[in-house]
Amino acid sequence: MAEILRLKKSNCRNCYKCIRNCPVQAIRFYGNQAYIANDMCVYCGQCFAVCPQEAQEFADSTEAVSSLLQGNETVVASVSSAFLAYYDGIGFDAVRRALMQLGFTDAEETARGAVLVKREYERILREGEREIILSSTCHAVNLLVKKYYPTLVHCLAPVISPMAAHARMIKEKMPQAKVVFVGPCLSAKDEAMAGAADAVLTFSELDRMLADRQIVMDTLPENAPREGSTRMFSVAGGILKSMACENETYTYMSVDGMDDCRDVLDEIEKGNISRCFIEMSACVGGCIGGPVMKKYSLSPIRHYQAVAACAGKADFSVDPLPEECVRCEYTSDRAERHEPSEEEIRAVLHQMGKIHPEQELNCGTCGYDSCREMAAAVCRGKADISMCQPYVMAKSEHFTNTILDNSPNGILVLNEDYEVQRINRAAMQMLHIQFQSDMLGQPVMNIMDPVPFMEVLQNKIPVVARRDYYAEYGIYLEQTILHDTTARLLLAFLRDVTAEETDRQYHERLLELTAETADKVVDKQMRIVQEIASLLGKTAAETKIALTKLKESMKHEQHEH
């Protein structure tokens, strides 16, 4: 299955906004990453419209359309009448000229195809054979019914969409033509893949193509007459406004927005609604509230007025198509959905620390409406327990407390007013504190010298391994103090180095005593050496005199002989 919508992993920041806004929960989350489940998606585009990180993107058709325009084929644009809202103050003639400058052979309004759709709706109403009739102009609604309300598929009016009808009208006149739909809708891209059109451009994609070619639409006012009641198809309630609702046995109503559509479908499924023609639009306000409009150019009242101001009471003049070209039958395309058992859901809730019903906060931060819904999504493989923010916070707090309480080092956390915010068990023992509550919110000066903390905060330089003696506790403390500028907290790591200091002082004294003893020994040895040297000198002199006398005596005796 081709990806109409996809998610740029590099942009996703796990805010879960797409999950919260997806009406069918077609977002999977695993491996710390969100993914779109295309088999479940109805391509309403809400995830794209609400994503704050630009992580959601739709399949880009500009390259495919450019290739069509560069060829030798006839290419005609079918333009949604929502252009009246998107291109403020610009008439269709200006849009048509700009499209032809891009290379299109011609351009027409999709509202021309809507004339055939409207007439088919009116025929079905005149016959009055169907109990419930759901308009089938919105592809996202059609997918919603086919995938999630398969028992109601028979309620969809067996009529193709205005886009498909207009494409067939164009190809009836120009059999070799390629038709490119231009509008605010993402689901139309999926519909086009089934053959309704050859390609789909959103208004934002068209803007990029025009900008690349430096084509600017004329903004001069046009004197075109108000015409085409089916231009109102692009606004909520506009289908009914353009129709002749003459069969009084039916109730006529308009519903827009996926939540309201689902509510109505639920009521129909329960059998609570009868003899009703219901105009349905996935987008609030109709096509003028489409995802591209909502993302870049949403102004509901002004946009409604822009369309209504140009829509006439009469229909566009169009050539009819054979009945088989306008009618169709919709079939179920049920999205497979594993329904977990109560035991499976309870097991996941227990993992999330939600043992009792009152612990199910239903805060919605995970993107699901209730803890049970999220637990069911986890069972289906669509979600991860880590998406539960209270669970993650409780787990993180428990983990932090375990580290703090079992750390052999004292840990002290102060705010920038030097008030104690956190103190662990080791620090309490070092500072002779019996209860943690006694110190929380109290000035640090009540238990420690505040000067090192003040130096860190004022000089923006951490204190590292500073040792001070605290006489009141009879201990030496080694302090490392840091300033967390983001959290605006001072963190102190304390280590009891009393034993080290005592040992160090003992060894210093021992060294001093050893040095003194060594000095005394050296002095004594020097005196002995000096005395020996003196004795050796006296003996050597006496020996020299004796030897000299002996030598002289021997010479004298030798001379006499």
Asked if residue 26 and residue 81 are part of one domain, the reply reads no
Res 224: pLDDT: 66
Res 398: pLDDT: 75
DSSP calls for 492-541 = EEEEE-HHHHHHHHHHHHHHHHHHHHHHHHHHHHHHHHHHHHHHHHHHHH
Radius of gyration of the chain (CA): 44
Number of domains in the chain: 4
Q: How far is CA 330 from CA 111, 131, 144, 273, 411, in A?
A: 22, 17, 12, 21, 67
Which of 361, 388, 406 is at the close of a domain?
406
Rounded distance between C-alpha atoms, residue 327 and residue 333, angstroms: 19
Asked if residue 382 and residue 446 are part of one domain, the reply reads no
Q: Quick one: tokens of 436?
A: 């943690």
Strand 178-183: give its sheet, edge to edge. Answer: 106-109, 75-79, 178-183, 199-202
Asked if residue 411 and residue 395 are part of one domain, the reply reads no
Strands 276-281 and 132-134: parallel
Burial 469-496 (b: 16+ CB within 10 A, else e): ebeeeebbbbbbbebeeeeeebbbbbbb
Asked if residue 27 and residue 4 are part of one domain, the reply reads yes
- Whether residue 535 is contained in a domain is answered as no
- Whether residue 528 is contained in a domain is answered as no
The continuous run of DSSP H or E covering 282 comes out as none
Which of 451, 475, 496 is at the close of a domain?
496
The continuous run of DSSP H or E covering 415 comes out as strand 410-415
Other Cβ atoms less than 10 A from the Cβ of 86: the count is 26
Q: Kindly report the CATH number assigned to the domain that includes residue 470.
A: 3.30.450.20
Rounded distance between C-alpha atoms, residue 554 and residue 532, angstroms: 33
Give 10-residue mean pLDDT values along the chain (561 residues).
Answer: 69 78 83 78 88 78 94 95 90 94 96 96 96 96 95 96 96 95 94 92 94 88 77 96 94 96 96 96 93 75 91 91 91 78 88 82 79 85 77 74 84 93 91 88 91 92 91 91 92 91 85 83 82 74 70 65 55
Asked if residue 439 and residue 359 are part of one domain, the reply reads no
Asked if residue 391 and residue 420 are part of one domain, the reply reads no
Res 19: pLDDT: 81
Rounded distance between C-alpha atoms, residue 408 and residue 425, angstroms: 9
Q: How far is CA 57 from CA 23, 183, 297, 490, in A?
A: 18, 16, 17, 43
- Whether residue 523 is contained in a domain is answered as no
Range of the domain at 349: 339-406
Q: Kindly report the CATH number assigned to the domain that includes residue 44.
A: 3.30.70.20
- Whether residue 418 is contained in a domain is answered as yes
- Whether residue 251 is contained in a domain is answered as yes
- Whether residue 501 is contained in a domain is answered as no
Asked if residue 132 and residue 10 are part of one domain, the reply reads no
Is 215 exposed, middle or buried (CB count within 10 Å of its CB: 0-12, 13-18, 19+)? Answer: middle
- Whether residue 314 is contained in a domain is answered as yes
Asked if residue 104 and residue 136 are part of one domain, the reply reads yes
Asked if residue 167 and residue 86 are part of one domain, the reply reads yes
Q: Kindly report the CATH number assigned to the domain that includes residue 397.
A: 1.10.15
Give 196's contacts (C-beta < 8 A, 6+ positions apart). Answer: 160, 161, 163, 164, 167, 181, 188
Other Cβ atoms less than 10 A from the Cβ of 426: the count is 19
Rounded distance between C-alpha atoms, residue 480 and residue 497, angstroms: 13
Which of 455, 476, 496 is at the close of a domain?
496
Res 31: pLDDT: 67
Asked if residue 82 and residue 69 are part of one domain, the reply reads yes
With H, G, I as helix, E, B as strand and everything else as coil, classify residue 308. helix
Q: Quick one: tokens of 538?
A: 């006296």
Q: If you count them, how many residues does the chain have?
A: 561
Give, as one character, the DSSP assignment of residue 225: P
Res 222: pLDDT: 63
- Whether residue 525 is contained in a domain is answered as no
Asked if residue 85 and residue 34 are part of one domain, the reply reads no
Asked if residue 298 and residue 213 are part of one domain, the reply reads yes
